[in-house]
Structure 1
Amino acid sequence: MKDHLGNNIKDEMDSIQIPEDKLNHTIQMAIERGKKDRGGRGRKWMYYSSAAILLFGLLIGSALVSPAMANVVSKIPYLGSIFESKGDVVMDMSDELREKGYPVNGLGVSFPEKVIRIGIEGDQDYFNRVKAEVEKVAMDFLKSRNYDAYTVKVSRYKEPKVPQKDKETQQRSEDFQLIDSRVREELGKRNVEVLQLAHLARPESIQLEIPNTTEATSDEIKEVVREIMSENNIRPIPVEIKKINMKKREQDRRWREILQTVSDDLLGKKDYKVRMVGYSVHPEPEIQAHITLSSKDEDAKDFARQLERVIDEFLKSDHMKERIKGDSYHITIYSKDDKVIN
């Protein structure tokens, strides 16, 4: 923090919190055992100056809202840890537990309940011995980030029973693997990039995703797939070609990363009262936040507008320009009853 801001401002920023006040959707983040390669996710950014500037703007702006809400909005200075991005909470917690020697197998978080579920391998005696320890490590980890919105549930991991495939299902699986490898090989010779090849069950079809800049026609590509099926005595399956806008695909990737950065504090801290977050890039980028306030709450709209302002200030910061790349975007705040309130 710069000296001219004064220690009183820093103290106020450190102490400010947002006041407390159905998306039936669950996100499970599967984590492969033992994987440690997480690219550049460990980078940290410190944006204290931006936070201070934003603090002044919000304190001034708070006078424009209702007297009943003035005390509320004056306590939304900035999204704390967004200015020091720490990385994905689930993956980092998994790493923390493994580094301490606990055999974690599967760790995920469910929304909007915000329950972090941890699976521990081992027999019942071992699980009984370490359960409390694992819970403490997990809670201490959350506390170190000031994330009080999550609860933790530790259970003993049990190897799921893999259903036996019948002969017909097994044959279909083998046929698809052959189609996948041969199609990629043959289309590669024709300079056609296969972004994804999927076998859809209902209705059954082969779906092929290719760049929308591909010179080969859809009919030409379908014919290649049909010939491969015929040559290998595979019964005909309808073929669908989906052309992907590569600029939109790149934009989608960027905004997925942007959402992760924005969501860290919003989901992790009770004070923000955010149940779920989401994003879309169609027709243009949008960040969505679902809060716990009802649209009938007299303070909901004021709170939503201030929350939108905080997110917007961060997205417009110099530090986010490289990711935003000049995109026009929207920020939409939904109430508990799923109504837009900003």
Structure 2
Amino acid sequence: MNNDFPNFKKDVDKIEVPEEKLNTAIKSAIKRGKKKKWSFGKKVTYLSGAAVIVFCLLIGSAFVSPAMAKVMSNVPLVSEILQSIAQTEDREEKLNHFFGKAHETLTNNYQGVVDVAMSMFFSSEPPNITVFVRDKTSKQELEDEIVQVIKDLAHSYNIGEVEINVDVQDKEFAHRKNGEKERTNHQLFQITQEVLQQEGYRFTTLGIDARTPHIIKVEIVGSEQHYNKVKDDIEKLVHNAIYSQEQLKYEVEVTRQTEAEIKEQKWQPILSSVREETHKRYNKVTGFAFSFHPKPLQIILKTSLSEGGQSKRTAEQIANYARQVVEIKRDKLSIEKIPYKIIIRDKEQEAIYEILYK
């Protein structure tokens, strides 16, 4: 990982333990272990004396080896962070399933419901569900029932508290949601996706820029050599498929992710963990931002801290914790290490602490 997380095996192998004494201790401990058992209700747990004696040897060595002492002091924090990350990922998965079910249930079963949206910044906080209904009459008739449906779903997915709003759609939303343009774009994307999949072309995004509504933009996966080889073929293929099915003359623009963009994309899970875990650990973390340009990567944590000595000490603690999350997650995903700077801002958006890691 890095120098703050030395290799366990290397340090353990350096520990000198008298072999004869160790064998005698283990044999004696095994005999004692067979005689002992602890009862907790209906469960019976047997404890190996050998395991106890080896663990004690490890702890005792920490007082002799400074390197081992450093390893042992980091273990609880590493374990805690890994456990917290796993819990966060589990909650995010539950939230996704919960929202998918809420959207499906409400839009399919209630004619007055036109759309459902969910928003949140930190997954550890209650999500906000907004249900858009057709008109004021639908709101009056359905609001109480909609709220109860969402609460029941949240309970079934073990989500906890949920903030719920029922709003009447505005005219702009209705036009955008039900307009001919929206349906046309959906058809275009569907045709493009089917053609690319049939021909075996991998892509990352499909889109239409509002500034150039007559151009479908396709971002593909692959090397620059692959891109140069297939770019023209894909543009003609999609263009012809759209025209043959819909009689629409849309241009197609094929792009690819650069190496820098691919590297940035790989870092997204790490950045997501930093955002979530620092907020869970320190409720004074209120916002998050990052920037890959200019280099190095800047990880910015916004806080509710004020000026002052204590705030700077807290900011340093937050930065150190963020760094631990970065290194643990990066190591777990086997992502290439790059220089990055952690910046802590106070409630006035002023930087009160920053540190560069290379």
User: Are 1:174 and 2:187 an aligned pair?
Assistant: yes
User: Are 1:312 and 2:332 an aligned pair?
Assistant: no
Alignment of 1:36-55 (within 5 A): 53-54=73-74
From 191, 195, 202, the counterpart of 2:211: 202
User: Are 1:323 and 2:333 an aligned pair?
Assistant: yes
1:50 Cα deviation after fit? 8.2
- In the TM superposition, what whole-angstrom CA distance separates every residue of 1:109-150 from its partner, at most 9, and x where no partner exists? 2479x6533579x96666788999999x79x977xxxxxxxx
C-alpha root-mean-square deviation of aligned residues, in Å?
A: 5.0
CA distance in 1, matches of 2:248, 2:233: 19
CA contact (8 A) 1:212 1:243 kept: yes
CA distance in 2, matches of 1:131, 1:172: 30
CA distance in 2, matches of 1:226, 1:207: 11
What TM-score do you get using the length of structure 2 for normalisation? Answer: 0.51
User: Are 1:333 and 2:343 an aligned pair?
Assistant: yes
Q: 1:320 to 1:50 in 2, by over 3 A?
A: farther
Alignment of 1:12-161 (within 5 A): 53-54=73-74, 81-85=80-84, 86-88=87-89, 89=91, 91-92=93-94, 108-110=119-121, 116-117=127-128, 152=161, 154-155=163-164
Q: Give 1:293's aligned residue.
A: 305
User: Are 1:259 and 2:260 an aligned pair?
Assistant: no
Q: Give 1:245's aligned residue.
A: 258
1:198 Cα deviation after fit? 1.9
Q: 1:174 to 1:307 in 2, by over 3 A?
A: closer
- Normalized per residue, the structure richer in helix is 2
Q: SS state of the match for residue 250, structure 2?
A: coil
CA distance in 2, matches of 1:180, 1:94: 23
1:154 Cα deviation after fit? 3.7
Q: Give 2:314's aligned residue.
A: 303
1:230 Cα deviation after fit? 4.7
- Could you tell me which amino acid in structure 2 is paired with residue 87 of structure 1? T
- Could you tell me which amino acid in structure 1 is paired with residue 275 of structure 2? S
1:235 Cα deviation after fit? 4.0
What TM-score do you get using the length of structure 1 for normalisation? Answer: 0.53
CA contact (8 A) 2:216 2:250 kept: yes
1:275 Cα deviation after fit? 0.7
1:207 Cα deviation after fit? 0.7
CA distance in 1, matches of 2:208, 2:79: 44
- In the TM superposition, what whole-angstrom CA distance separates every residue of 1:72-114 from its partner, at most 9, and x where no partner exists? xxxxx9599524121244554687999xxxx9986542479x6
User: Are 1:222 and 2:235 an aligned pair?
Assistant: yes
CA contact (8 A) 1:82 1:261 kept: no
Q: SS state of the match for residue 256, structure 2?
A: strand
Q: 1:133 to 1:116 in 2, by over 3 A?
A: same
- In the TM superposition, what whole-angstrom CA distance separates every residue of 1:136-189 from its partner, at most 9, and x where no partner exists? x79x977xxxxxxxxx5543667979657345654454344334433554xx2x
Count residues in correspondence. 255
Q: 1:182 to 1:220 in 2, by over 3 A?
A: closer
1:247 Cα deviation after fit? 7.4
- Could you tell me which amino acid in structure 2 is paired with residue 266 of structure 1? T
CA contact (8 A) 1:284 1:329 kept: yes
CA contact (8 A) 2:243 2:249 kept: yes
Q: SS state of the match for residue 87, structure 1?
A: helix
1:328 Cα deviation after fit? 1.4
CA contact (8 A) 2:191 2:241 kept: no
CA contact (8 A) 2:218 2:255 kept: yes
CA contact (8 A) 2:122 2:276 kept: no
Q: SS state of the match for residue 195, structure 1?
A: strand
Q: Give 1:165's aligned residue.
A: 178
CA contact (8 A) 1:108 1:117 kept: yes
Instruction: Give the structure, 1 or 2, with the largest relative contact order (CA under 8 Å, sep 6 or more).
Output: 1
Q: 1:304 to 1:80 in 2, by over 3 A?
A: farther
CA distance in 1, matches of 2:278, 2:325: 13
- Could you tell me which amino acid in structure 2 is paired with residue 117 of structure 1? N
